[in-house]
Amino acid sequence: MSKLSHIDDKGQARMVDVSEKAITARRAVAEGFISMRPETLVLVESGQSKKGDVIGAARIAGIMAAKRTHELIPLCHPLAITKATVDFALSEVPPGVHVKAEVKVSGQTGVEMEALTAVSIACLTLYDMLKAVDKSMTVDGVRLVEKEGGKSGKFKARPRSGGR
């Protein structure tokens, strides 16, 4: 088993020193799903939510979250992100919204946390904007789908079973 990079020899939390690492192109993709009642999904599709364009608001929130991940997760490095996108796919079976984020940087550390944060905040924004009509929504399946760059190279998650 590998040693945890954010724990020093005394067992204390630390920010990893990346000053000696090479600057390389790095990319990460994450996904998540917010399930909801079919009638809630109809509001999303039609744009008839009382709060307006819930997808648009969630997209902006996700992008902002990717850019501010270092302010939310204590040991993340501030990064000069070069790309952050958040995309949505509506699903009738099961009813809900699949959220996918892609983040890129040329830097000394990866952007996995930024992509995961973008997806999480986009899903939470959807929940916030729709909770007046559906408090039973759930967010699940937030995970890293793929990453490229850095010493550890490429990673690609296995496809999910069950269509999500």
**140 belongs to the catalytic site:** no
Looking at domain 25-148, its CATH class is alpha beta
Cα–Cα distance for residue pair 99/141, rounded to 1 Å:
10
Q: What is the pLDDT of residue 105?
A: 97
Mean of per-residue pLDDT scores for the chain: 92
> Of 9, 17, 53, 128, which is the active-site residue?
128
Residue 2: pLDDT over 70: no
Write the pLDDT tens digit of every residue in 28-51. Answer: 999 999 999 999 999 999 887 888
* Residue 116, H or E segment: helix 112-130
Instruction: For 102-147, write each residue's pLDDT tens digit.
Output: 999 999 999 999 999 999 999 999 999 999 999 999 999 999 999 9
pLDDT at residue number 70: 96
What's the CA gap between 121 and 106, in Å, rounded? 23
Pair of tokens at residue 91: 């699903």
CA pair distance 122, 32, nearest whole angstrom: 9
Q: Which two tokens stand for residue 98?
A: 């699949």
How confident is residue 9, by pLDDT bands cut at 50, 70 and 90? Answer: confident
For residue 57, what are its two tokens? 């608001």
Q: Which long-range contacts (CB under 8 A, 24 or more apart) does 53-57 make?
A: 54/125, 54/126, 54/129, 54/130, 55/88, 55/97, 55/126, 57/125, 57/129
Torsion-angle region of residue 150: left (phi > 0), alpha (psi -120 to 50) or beta?
Answer: left
